[in-house]
A and B are shown apart, each in its own frame.
Chain A
Amino acid sequence: MSIIGTTPRLDDLAVGAVVAEASFPLIRDSLVRYAGASGDFNPIHYRDDVAVSVGLPGVLAHGMLTMGLAVQPVVDWVGDPGRIVDYQVRFTRPVLVDPAGGAVVTVVAKVGAIDAEAGVARIDLTVTFNEATVLGKAQARVSLAAAPRTDA
């Protein structure tokens, strides 16, 4: 139904295959933008003095920003944000955003499992910053059924 490209077919997928990769450069402005959009104004995400006062090395990206951007390569691959039927992560390491140099978060999305009966693929995300993973058990379940659920 989508006019935005062609929906991947479940039959064409193989467990372990990489379906999407992307890098996201974050700067302090990105964190301020996310704070405003989400309503999460915890100052550890934009004030170094506050971050340091609670024992952090500096300003961190919101965990929910990292979670939010990490699924976007999957959305681009599947062509429709409404096809993400389940998405979970564990927050394992913070993303430290340097005031001058920012930070780069890298996402690799692989097929983790295929449920042919449900028409759902589980896509496993490897999300890294400074060559360490920052999200654990990051999994998006994607519906690849013939038509998206348009009961909205």
Chain B
Amino acid sequence: MSVNPELQGRVFPPVAPYLVGREKVREFSRAVFATNPINHDPEAARAAGYADVVAPPTFAVVVQEATLAQLLAEPDAGIDFSRVVHGDQRFSFSRPIVAGDELTATLTVASVKSLGGHSMVTAESRVVDASGAHVVTATSTLVVRGDE
């Protein structure tokens, strides 16, 4: 089975909103060795101008994850998860993620390419806050290995 080229351009329904918790931000910060007080201490975050603790940049992957699960579960996608390797990852922010944010992510398949028997699927998950304003776009390129 190979990746369905007609996936390119497909927009998935938004996933259920993700409510960013302060303790989750702290837990994730500890896991990625983020020690800045703005990641952990609400007072330090407020002194720096934020409403609450600020998530490390790669926390956005936690919000993105549900959209990638949607893509992998798409019946006609032809993406065999056991052959998927994470190739590239990018986060582009309009503003940082802050505890208290209610975030909604929507995935678009930006491209499907074939390269030497493998497929490269680039998925862009656009994350907006409760007001609909853009927060971050998380872009993953998944390499799907072809049949050996």
Contact with A along B84-103 (1 / 0, CB 8 A): 01111111111110100100
Contact, CB under 8 Å: B89 / A64: yes
Tell me which residues from 110 to 133 in chain A have a Cβ below 8 Å from any Cβ of chain B.
none
Contact B89 A71 (CB under 8 A): no
Q: Is A67 an interface residue (CB 8 A)?
A: yes
B34 at the interface (CB under 8 A from A): yes
Q: List 26 A-B contacts (CB under 8 A).
A: A1-B49, A4-B44, A34-B31, A34-B32, A36-B27, A38-B31, A38-B61, A40-B65, A63-B89, A68-B57, A69-B33, A72-B33, A72-B34, A80-B36, A80-B48, A81-B56, A81-B57, A86-B91, A87-B90, A88-B89, A91-B85, A140-B57, A148-B49, A149-B94, A150-B49, A152-B96
Closest chain B CB from A136 CB (angstroms): 9
Which bucket holds chain A's interface residue count?
35 or more
B38-61 Cβ-contact flags toward A at 8 Å (1 or 0): 110000100111110011111001
Chain A positions within 8 Å of B, measured between CB atoms, are 1-4, 24, 30, 33-34, 36-40, 54, 63-65, 67-69, 71-72, 75-76, 79-82, 84-91, 137, 140, 147-152
